[in-house]
Amino acid sequence: MRAESWTDIVQANASNNGGIVVGIDPYLPDIPAAFEREGSGTDWLPRYLDFVLDTTIGRVGFVKFQSAYFEAYGLAGLNALSLAMKRARSAGLGVILDAKRGDIGSTAAAYARAYLTPGSAGGSGDFEADCLTVNPMMGPDTLEPFLDCVRRFGKGLFVLCRTSNPGAGWLQDRMAGNRFISDRLADLIATVGKDCFQGGRLNPVGAVIGATVPQEGKRLRSLLPNAIILAPGLGPQGGDAAALDALRGSQLGDLLVPVSRGLLRADDRSITLDEYERLIEERLHLFKTMIAAPSNLSATG
C-alpha cells in the first residue's frame, strides 16, 4: 500500500511534471510495426508497455490505462496490464485505471476490491490503482463501495459528469426539472465527496469533464471548485485547448489532461523505435506546453 494519498500524489506530481496524463490504449495498428516483428501473438504487448514507460517515466507524473484495450487481448493482456500498473506505481507515477465501473451492491463492492483495495486489506493487488473512473448512472448507492476505499485507503475517483464523446449531450445536456443532468451529476460528485474532503486540499472525488465542451466545462467547474477534473478530448477528439482554461481551478493539480492517441499513435508504422521515441518526446513537450498555457495554443492530433 502506498503511503501517499491520491491528493498527495496529484499535488506532488503535478508540481514536478504538470498535469499531463499519458493514456495507454495499446492497439497494434496504431504502433510501429517493429514491435510486431520482434515476436508473435501478444508478445509485443509487454515490450510496448515497457517502451512507453521507459520513455515517459521522469517526464510525466501520471498514467492512465484503459482497461478495455487490455481485456481485448485476454489473459495475456490482463497480465501485461497488471505488470505495467505495478511498475508505474513503483516508479512514483499516479496510476489511473480507466474502467468506468458502476453496478449495484455486492458487484460494486467486488469492483472496489479488484481495483482500489490493497492486497494487505483483502484485495488481490493485481490491478490496484491509485484512482479509478466510475459510472454513476445507476445511482448514488453504486458509488458507496468505491467511496469507502477513498476513505480507508486514500484512493481517488473520477466520476463521469460531462464526457467528451459526440453523443454525450443526448443525456448529459438534457434538462431534468430545471437543471441539466450534468449539473445534477456535479452536485452528486460534490455531495458524496464531502466526507472525503480535508479542508484546503483537493477533493479525492473528482469528475470526468471533456475538453470538448468549454461552455459546459465552465459551468460545471463552478459547481466543483475543489474537485480534480480529468479532461479528455485533446488530439483526435478535437478538444479545444481553450476549454482547459474554463476547467482549471485555483489549486495545483486540480486539472489533469489525458492524451493517448494524440501522443502515442504512430501514423507511419514503418518508423524505427528510435524515431518513435523522439516522436513521443516531441509530442509530449507540445502537449505539456499546451496544458500549461492552453489559451495561447491550439490542439493538435
Handedness of CA 91, 96, 99, 103 (dihedral sign): positive
- Whether 100 is catalytic: yes
Give the Cβ contact number of residue 182 at 10 Å: 26
C-alpha 124/C-alpha 77 separation (Å) is: 17
Contact (Cβ atoms closer than 8 angstroms) between residue 238 and residue 192: no
DSSP of 109-164: HHHHHHHHS-GGGTS--TT--SEEEE--TT-GGGGHHHHHHHHHH--EEEEEEE-S
Give Cα separations from 290 to 111, 185, 208, 236, 286 (angstroms): 35, 28, 19, 15, 6
Residue with cell 465527496: 193
Residues near 176 by Cβ (< 8 Å), separated by ≥ 6?
184
Task: Say which of 64, 100, 155, 288 is annotated catalytic.
Answer: 100
C-alpha 276/C-alpha 269 separation (Å) is: 9
Which residues are catalytically annotated? 100
